[in-house]
């Protein structure tokens, strides 16, 4: 991978493929070719990033930019703005709705302040699912950086 200045990784998992990741790859390659960047930028499919609900996922290296819910129509902007001008597209960046500390505080306050045990358990389980997805994304970021 080191022969290229940048790498664009596209999730090749089933969910992302069903959400047009093949077309995203084709469009990215088209615009990379249009701007004569074939020797500098490589576009490759990866395995599943494990973040299917936010797919298709596109990750740009070496700056470690993580784009979510990418559409084929975003390919031109990714190449023009991010690859050529070095400006990541804010509208595609992953936005973590809550920090882990906020989630843990919510679990604690819900558990101690709610007299309805079943409701509290359901709320706790849904918050823990969000926490798990957040931690999964953090692990993926770490593994890709290793």
Q: pLDDT: is 1 or 67 the higher one?
A: 67
- What number is the average pLDDT over the span 122-133? 65
Per-residue confidence (pLDDT) for residue 51, from 0 to 100: 84
In angstroms, rounded to a whole number, what is the distance separating the alpha carbons of residues 122 and 108? 13
- Checking DSSP bridges between strand 6-11 and strand 58-61, what pairing results, if any? antiparallel
Which residues partner with 58 through β-bridges? Answer: 10, 67
Whether residue 50 sits in one domain with residue 107: no
Lowest mean pLDDT among 8-22, 41-55, 56-70, 104-118: 104-118
Query: What token pair was written down for 126?
Result: 């849904």
Task: Provide the residue range defining the domain that includes 86.
Answer: 6-92
pLDDT higher than 70, residue 140: no
- The pLDDT confidence band at residue 18, using thresholds 50, 70 and 90, is very high
Of 145, 108, 146, the C-alpha closest to 128 is: 108
The answer to whether residue 72 is domain-embedded is yes
Number of domains in the chain: 2
- What number is the average pLDDT over the span 127-145? 66
Whether residue 128 sits in one domain with residue 71: no
- What number is the average pLDDT over the span 84-107? 78
The answer to whether residue 116 is domain-embedded is yes
Whether residue 125 sits in one domain with residue 79: no
3-state secondary structure the chain: CCCCCEEEEEECCHHHHHCCHHHHHHHHHHHHHHCCCCCCEEEEEECCCCCHHHCCCEEEECCCEEECCCCHHHHHHHHHHHHHCCCCCHHHECCCCCCHHHHHHHHHHHHHHCCCHHHHHHHHHHHHHHHHHHHHHHHHHHHHHC
pLDDT higher than 90, residue 83: yes
């Amino acid at each position: 991978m080191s022969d290229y200045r940048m790498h664009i990784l596209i999730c090749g998992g089933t969910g992302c493929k069903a959400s047009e990741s093949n077309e995203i790859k084709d469009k990215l390659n088209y615009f990379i070719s249009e701007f004569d960047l074939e020797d500098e930028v490589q576009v490759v499919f990866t395995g599943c990033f494990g973040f299917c609900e936010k797919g298709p996922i596109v990750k740009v290296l070496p700056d470690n930019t993580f784009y979510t819910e990418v559409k084929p129509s975003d390919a031109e902007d990714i190449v023009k703005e991010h690859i050529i001008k070095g400006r990541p597209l804010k509208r595609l960046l992953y936005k973590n709705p809550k920090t882990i500390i906020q989630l843990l505080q919510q679990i604690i306050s819900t558990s101690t302040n709610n007299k309805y045990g079943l409701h509290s358990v359901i709320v706790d389980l849904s918050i823990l699912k969000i926490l798990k997805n957040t931690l999964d994304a953090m692990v993926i970021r770490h593994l890709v950086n290793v």
